[in-house]
Structure 1
Amino acid sequence: MSSPTLSEVTSCLAGYDPDALPVRDAQRIISQFIEPVGGVEDVALLSALGRVLAADIISPISVPAHDNSAMDGYALRGTELDAHGPTTLSVVGTVYAGRPSDTVPGPGQCIRIMTGGVMPAGCDSVIPQEHVAAITEHSITIAPGSIGIGENRRFAGEDLMAGSAALKSGKIIRPADLGLLASLGIGQVRVRRRLRVAFFSTGDELRSLGEPLDAGCVYDSNRYTLFGMLTRLGCEIIDMGIVRDEPQALEAALRDACACADAIVTSGGVSVGAADYTRDIMAKMGDVTFWKIGMRPGRPLAFGRVAANGHTAFLFGLPGNPVAVMVSFYFFARAALLRMMGAEAPLLLVKARAAAPIRKKPGRTEYQRAILALGEDGQQQVHITGSQGSGILRSMSEANCMVVLHDEQGNVAAGDMVDIMLFDGLV
């Protein structure tokens, strides 16, 4: 079955208008058009951090393998504890972690046990050492009500049972996952191959670091923010530098990128300026649409699939303003690239209280840079960083979150709850 065209995808959207497209509709179109790439490889566990699992991990063992103690203390039978007076038990042995004991305590007896030690046969409870009322060389005395039956005992398979799914395919491997896999004795995992993403900036006014800054020119910052965001996603990145505003140069860059990458991310050249040849060249090379999205910052966006010399690549043409590039990447390109990687990691929005009024017109989605902090009352509150111009990259550096004001929202009053996206924890 052939892949759908963009026109087929957009035809299913009621009231589709490329010159006034809501954020949620653009996200839906991209999600339906994007396809995961193939290719898997086996990697050593220490090389698996940040990679995407290509298959479920089935636990070969139960974790823990045996009932064991959750505390340093004494293993005993809970039914022998006197609920109305002290209970004295003889200590008949010691169990260390990793050194099970064959000793089976009889009536009126207990065994000293260390954290992780295998529970002796017949014992169902552990009293922590610090909760014992009196300790002698050969006995302990326990006050009534010190513990309940079954306390401080960890059951075999309590974490994972042999044969159950430890991790699901499509999961991005995190530090805790490395530890979990190691606890199962797994030293090699099957992961998706890294997604190859080519990126470049367009514009005659751009200069690379180290070059003199001529009048009217600016240093190219977009490639560095894109480098950071793509690296955090775990992509194999291909930096193609700066491409001048010349039709031949732009077409050559897109053809080169198409030949070596699964996806292409560009910044600049997707508006309607006289020197923005990118639109025409993108449309010439493939199935590409150009949107004016109801959002701020960032309005122009190109999306689609381009082809050259038998190769195809998904294309994300982002705006040129530095903040608009980052916002567009996070809310459009990021989810699509993760889908191509076979992973799902949706942006999570949480609620926070606005520290001051926020002006907002209904009819478009706004993303405002902000700082989440504790107010004088000890409650979390969020305040805007100041001017929200799409060229003020410093505000993105100062911010630790972004307030998401949805298209139907109007002005926000101080104390109102708003949605925020935290920067920490982004892939």
Structure 2
Amino acid sequence: MKTPLLDYKDALELSLALVAHTPQTQEIPLGEAMGRILAKSVRALDPLPKATNSAMDGFGLRLEDVGKPLEITHTLYAGQSAEGINISCGTCVKIMTGALVPEGVEIIVPFEEMDFYHKSQAQAPAKEFKPGANIRFVGEDIQRDELIAHAGERIHAGTIALLASQGITHVLVFKRLHIAIFSSGDEVIPLGTPAQAHQVYDSNAPMLVALLKSYGYDAVHVGKLGDDLRCQQEAMQTWGDYDVVVSSAGVSAGDKDYFQDALLQQGATIHYHGVHLKPGKPIMLASFPHSPRPTFVFGMPGNPVSCMLTCLVLVLPMLEKLAGSKEKLETLRVPLSEPLFFKGQRLHLVLGRIAQGAFTPYRHNRYGSGAIDALGACNALALIPPGVLEVQESVDVLLLPH
């Protein structure tokens, strides 16, 4: 049974609507949380800064004492208590970055701005200083109990630094998706085996694994589907172990493209087979009703460019929602270095490079879906909406991982 082609927007909305369950969670050490998706929002345990401190190496004094020679009563370093120290008129403190600011200090003047200073005396210039100059006040960045990390966010190095500053040692994250990558096609052979004239090296599987890992997913290449209906059916009997299966090739209309028949005969539901995309029209989404959660299956086009680009615009958004992420596909609007022309009511995916603030299409957008060289040469993907016949000025682009 042939299913009608969907518009890209409808295919994307359909796939996201199919995600009806929340991933399981686990608590892990903060040091292992890079790239994981936060399952529970985190509030600040302490204000940041935790205490009022100096933003500079310099001298702390009262505003009324600028332009006057002052007695240096204390030298303060980060990590020292300032309890009991009170700066009165005619005195100042020598203070280092991060040191707690004692009572009475209204400004801090950096060493290089002082009129003079020596062992026992210092003088700040007689000019106007704003109250609180070079002082970091308690809670000026973050207040106690303020939300500092939100559920659904992917944890990066900055998140880890922020959580560590609160003394947080463990975080609750969503469990990783189990993603299996399958190759397909009798002509495809693994790397390390000499290819004959009628054979091609498997490039899609390593590409898909690398691409998904670059986005924080733990994808594994688990094997190859032969061009045989029974062989594919047998392989599918193990797919309940995975959250998502991504198989490249076998989704077109060739004599040996058994993938759809194998899925249907094993009890899968085909949600769509064919999307108004260029390249990537044959892409397929199916699912098996496994318990406690379904297994989603993407059948990808066999041509490497089509395979990668459809993964970016259709597979990744669904993976994000399945994984518990609230991040969306984000594009940038950038100037176009040369006009682009199109035909047909479909979303056009155009590889190119962003350099000096402009997008330049790869080879003037004259390349085929098997042009693997384009994947290595480009750093951006332009998304041209259906119905647009000519683009002269600017385009929406998705930055590619490198």
TM-score normalised by the chain length of structure 1: 0.88
Shift of 1:195: 0.7
Amino acid aligned to 2:18:
F
Q: Does the C-alpha gap of structure 1 residues 180 and 291 become closer, same or farther in structure 2, counting only changes over 3 Å? A: same
Amino acid aligned to 2:28:
V
**Residues 1:156 and 2:138 aligned together:** yes
Q: 2: CA distance between counterparts of 1:309 and 1:253?
A: 18
SS at match of 1:189: strand
The answer to whether the 8 Å contact 2:6/2:272 transfers is no
> Of 227, 242, 246, which aligns to 2:209?
227
1:290 maps to which residue? 272
Q: 2: CA distance between counterparts of 1:161 and 1:217?
A: 62
Q: Does the C-alpha gap of structure 1 residues 339 and 308 become closer, same or farther in structure 2, counting only changes over 3 Å? A: closer
The answer to whether the 8 Å contact 1:207/1:219 transfers is yes
Q: 2: CA distance between counterparts of 1:278 and 1:348?
A: 32
Q: 1: CA distance between counterparts of 2:352 and 2:49?
A: 45
Per-residue CA shift, 1:157-202, capped at 9, x if unaligned?
2232222222111111101111111111111112111110112021
1:12 maps to which residue? none
> Of 294, 298, 310, which aligns to 1:316?
298
**Residues 1:261 and 2:242 aligned together:** yes
1:46 maps to which residue? 31
Per-residue CA shift, 1:258-278, capped at 9, x if unaligned?
221011111111122221111
The answer to whether the 8 Å contact 1:197/1:238 transfers is yes
TM-score normalised by the chain length of structure 2: 0.93
2:251 maps to which residue? 270
**Residues 1:279 and 2:245 aligned together:** no
> Of 118, 129, 136, which aligns to 2:118?
136
Q: 1: CA distance between counterparts of 2:3 and 2:61?
A: 72
Per-residue CA shift, 1:329-354, capped at 9, x if unaligned?
11011111111110122222112221
2:400 maps to which residue? 423
> Of 331, 353, 360, which aligns to 1:383?
360
1:32 maps to which residue? 17
Deviates most, 19-28 or 336-345: 19-28
Per-residue CA shift, 1:372-415, capped at 9, x if unaligned?
112xxxxx1121121331111111111111122121322223xx
Amino acid aligned to 2:398:
M
> Of 95, 98, 121, which aligns to 2:103?
121
Q: CA RMSD in A?
A: 2.0
Q: How does 1:1-400 map to 2 (within 5 A)?
A: 19-78=4-63, 80=64, 86-101=67-82, 102-145=84-127, 147-256=129-238, 258-284=239-265, 285-307=267-289, 312-361=294-343, 363-374=345-356, 380-386=357-363, 387-400=366-379
Q: 2: CA distance between counterparts of 1:339 and 1:45?
A: 23
Q: 1: CA distance between counterparts of 2:232 and 2:14?
A: 26
The answer to whether the 8 Å contact 2:152/2:327 transfers is no
Per-residue CA shift, 1:233-265, capped at 9, x if unaligned?
333334222111101111112221x22101111
The answer to whether the 8 Å contact 2:51/2:138 transfers is yes
User: Structure 1 runs of 4+ off > 4 angstroms?
Assistant: 308-311
Q: Does the C-alpha gap of structure 1 residues 95 and 18 become closer, same or farther in structure 2, counting only changes over 3 Å? A: farther
Shift of 1:129: 1.4
Q: 2: CA distance between counterparts of 1:236 and 1:20?
A: 31
Q: How many residues align?
A: 397
Shift of 1:147: 2.8
Give the percent of matched residue pairs that are identical in Structure 1 and Structure 2: 28
Q: Does the C-alpha gap of structure 1 residues 37 and 260 become closer, same or farther in structure 2, counting only changes over 3 Å? A: farther
SS at match of 1:111: strand
SS at match of 1:52: coil
Amino acid aligned to 1:406:
P
Per-residue CA shift, 1:291-337, capped at 9, x if unaligned?
32121111012113114698730111111110111111110111111
Deviates most, 243-252 or 344-353: 344-353
SS at match of 2:391: coil
The answer to whether the 8 Å contact 2:21/2:293 transfers is no
Q: 2: CA distance between counterparts of 1:393 and 1:69?
A: 55
Amino acid aligned to 1:71:
M
Amino acid aligned to 2:159:
D
SS at match of 1:178: helix
Q: 2: CA distance between counterparts of 1:30 and 1:245?
A: 27
Shift of 1:154: 0.9
The answer to whether the 8 Å contact 2:5/2:276 transfers is yes
Q: 2: CA distance between counterparts of 1:408 and 1:49?
A: 41
Q: 1: CA distance between counterparts of 2:401 and 2:180?
A: 25
The answer to whether the 8 Å contact 2:5/2:272 transfers is no
The answer to whether the 8 Å contact 1:202/1:267 transfers is yes
